[in-house]
Structure 1
Amino acid sequence: MSASLAYATQQINIYLRSIVFVCGVTSNIFNIIVFLSLATFRESSCAFYLTTMSFVNTLQMFFGLLPRTINVAFGIDWSITSLAYCKVRYYFFQSCSGLSYTCMTLATIDQYLATCSSPFWQRCSNIKLARCLFVLSMIFWMLLGIPVLYYYNLNTSTVTNQTICTITNPAFQRYFSYFNLLILLCLMPVGVTILFGILAYRNVQHLTYRAVPLVRRETDKQLTVMVLIEDVYNLFFILPYITVYALQLNLSVNTDPTYADRINLISAITSALYYVPFSSAFYIYVCASERFRRQFLYVLFKVHVNRCRKDLARNRILPD
């Protein structure tokens, strides 16, 4: 039984994580292309947050998901052969996770402000403020991750007697597990996005009756729908991870081995699905917004494909 559960855990770690990684990199690249190609999005503060989030999510794929997949599939773990990589990988994992969730939270708050009836709050939704908040958020998460560079070290496991990259300070381990991961990276962003998502949804119901330019109104409605559906979607993938992670933190050393193997199997599934919010934004936007689908096709075929054809025709060498 234990051997079967261990094998199932390994296969899930390899194949599910690989699928999430490939889909995630593709999703974030497409988002970046669409958001940077259209002036409508380049001038929108909410779209700015979604664009920067796509950049950060791509880094998260390479620093968080890819190394784990390579380790399980090929037995290659650079974090146990290089102390610098051990520290840098977990530093970027925390920084990118926190910054990605912050961008999603700020995008939700921004859409609440953009759809408010008060002109004062509407003016708070602007690209200059968005850039400042993003820079401040990036500095915050970079500073918050400094202890990770200090406390993550190479150590010998008392269970497997093998070298692992882990936190060597018990007090920081408790802080990192309970406050940092559970509260800062999971519960807090989920709570804030759901709260402001509900408020933005209430505002957008009355948006049609306000004296707002048509293009701005349609863009606000589109972005609000995209952000709100992504908030709800992410909730279903983050909560299972929080639950299983909390169970593992309180798992006794003397727990029945079969029960522990089952928890590890469920953890492998929820840990892989934890990366889905970092990898699925584009697919959510395509399914949620008909306007985004048209914009994507326009950008892909009318803008970039036609540009490539013109460049090829311009650079083609005619025969004598």
Structure 2
Amino acid sequence: MSTSTGLNIIHFTNKLSQYSSITLFVIGTIGNLLNILVFISLKLFRNNQCAFYFTVESISNIFLITNSLAIYLLASMGNYDVAILSILWCKLRSILFVSCTVITLYTICFSGIDQYLSTSHLFFLRQLSTIKLARCLTIIIVIISLLHTIPFVIFLDIQQGVCTVFHPQMVNYISYIYYPVLIGFLPMTITLIFSLLAYQNVRRIIRRQIPVVRRRLDQQLTAMVLIRIIIFLILTLPFTCLQMYTYLTKITPSSNFYIFAIENLVSSIVATLLNLNYAISFYMFCIAFQRFRRQVKHVLIKKYWRRCKLWCFFVELLNKDWHLPCTTPLSQSHKHMCKAAHFIFL
């Protein structure tokens, strides 16, 4: 009885994982690409450190949700987890997950720290907030995250139908340091402390003689960092706690299949929440901030949509084989179009 119930739970879990991973991949990829588009297109954000961190985080998020989709699609195509048959895929998916998770979480930390520095009333702290430092910190965290995957590559193994770490010392590191500290309470604490300090600084900005544009930008970015941190705390904490429990109990299908199926279902739900953390930042920014909505509208409609329409117009002219020299008597608007067409296509 318990075996058949466990099989039904496993079947339901697989369906839930497939549909949720596809949905999150679609909305997450669109949202993160729009984040990148807005932050690199607007001159207001182009050389801003916090916007740079948001861009790096969005790139890392795309890799994370793509990795999640690949895991569930490969499992659904063959009705089994490819990671329990291929040690290469077992290690590769763990490398992507571990490295990109560290990059995403610590770029969130850096964005909170940077907002505190850039809004500080102390001049020497404001001097530390530079785009050069942001790029250096990003390079450093990428290198550290890749080096950190080396022990996982060495100790990951497939035993009893499970792709995981079985080495006792490595299990202790994952259970007591990696999940609770490195990607758990340490980034949560850092981001929470510095975002609150930055919020206090922004409230004092009104008393200082700062241009209105800079003041509004600092207020907007600080509020965006706060929203991002709240999402991060709510959606990441359950996964951290569950992973600690999973590595400590080490329940396998052969030991107790029913309990294994229940844990598998809970893990799927928690993993969906975690992937939601990597997918919804753009939508939360749009919901929470009217100014960000105007900025997105400006980028999509006034910049790229108009360029797209102009490009389509010129393509239509070329398809009609309309090659008129610019010396032909035309209206002023047609002369500008002719020159622009020559500039684009020659």
Normalised by the size of structure 1, how large is the TM-score? 0.90
How many Å separate the matches in 1 of 2:14 and 2:80?
14
C-alpha distance after superposition, 1:105-155 (max 9, x if no partner):
0001111111111111112111111111111111111111122222224x3
Matched with 1:241 is 239
How many Å separate the matches in 1 of 2:188 and 2:42?
30
- Give the secondary-structure state (helix, strand or coil) at the position aligned to 1:212: coil
Matched with 1:292 is 292
| Offset, 1:82 | 4.2
Matched with 2:170 is 172
Matched with 1:30 is 34
- Give the secondary-structure state (helix, strand or coil) at the position aligned to 1:279: coil
| Offset, 1:208 | 1.9
How many Å separate the matches in 2 of 1:59 and 1:253?
29
Answer yes or no: is 1:44 the counterpart of 2:42.
no
Normalised by the size of structure 2, how large is the TM-score? 0.83
Deviates more, 1:255-264 or 1:230-239: 255-264
Matched with 1:219 is 217
C-alpha distance after superposition, 1:35-68 (max 9, x if no partner):
11111111100000000111111111122x1123
Answer yes or no: is 1:146 the counterpart of 2:144.
no
8 Å contact kept, 2:39–2:51: yes
How many Å separate the matches in 2 of 1:243 and 1:19?
25
Matched with 2:65 is 61
How many Å separate the matches in 2 of 1:266 and 1:229?
26
Matched with 1:108 is 112
Q: Which amino acid aligns with 1:187?
A: F
- Give the secondary-structure state (helix, strand or coil) at the position aligned to 2:278: helix
| Offset, 1:250 | 3.7
Q: Which amino acid aligns with 1:97?
A: T
How many Å separate the matches in 2 of 1:156 and 1:233?
35
For 1:82-93, list aligned pairs within 5 A.
82-93=86-97
Equivalent position to 2:24, from 17, 20, 23: 20
The number of residues matched between the two structures is 313
- Structure 1's 88 and 246: CA in aligned 2 closer, same or farther, altered over 3 A? closer
Deviates more, 1:138-147 or 1:258-267: 258-267
Moved over 4 A (4+): 252-260
Matched with 1:251 is 249
8 Å contact kept, 1:70–1:77: no
Matched with 1:279 is 279
- Give the secondary-structure state (helix, strand or coil) at the position aligned to 1:275: helix
8 Å contact kept, 1:13–1:72: no
- Give the secondary-structure state (helix, strand or coil) at the position aligned to 2:216: helix
Q: Which amino acid aligns with 1:17?
A: S
8 Å contact kept, 1:70–1:76: no
Equivalent position to 2:9, from 2, 5, 15: 5
Larger Rg: 2
Matched with 1:310 is 310
Q: Which amino acid aligns with 1:207?
A: I
Q: Which amino acid aligns with 1:116?
A: S
Deviates more, 1:218-227 or 1:202-211: 202-211
Measured on the aligned residues, the alpha-carbon RMSD in Å equals 2.2
How many Å separate the matches in 2 of 1:87 and 1:145?
9
Matched with 1:194 is 192
How many Å separate the matches in 2 of 1:95 and 1:273?
19
Matched with 1:181 is 179
Deviates more, 1:200-209 or 1:110-119: 200-209
How many Å separate the matches in 2 of 1:208 and 1:119?
16
| Offset, 1:182 | 2.5
8 Å contact kept, 1:44–1:127: yes
8 Å contact kept, 1:244–1:263: no
Matched with 2:326 is none
Deviates more, 1:279-288 or 1:251-260: 251-260
How many Å separate the matches in 2 of 1:68 and 1:93?
11
Q: Which ranges in structure 2 are unaligned for 5 or more consecutive residues?
A: 323-346
| Offset, 1:217 | 1.2
How many Å separate the matches in 2 of 1:46 and 1:191?
18
8 Å contact kept, 1:27–1:279: yes
Matched with 1:263 is 263
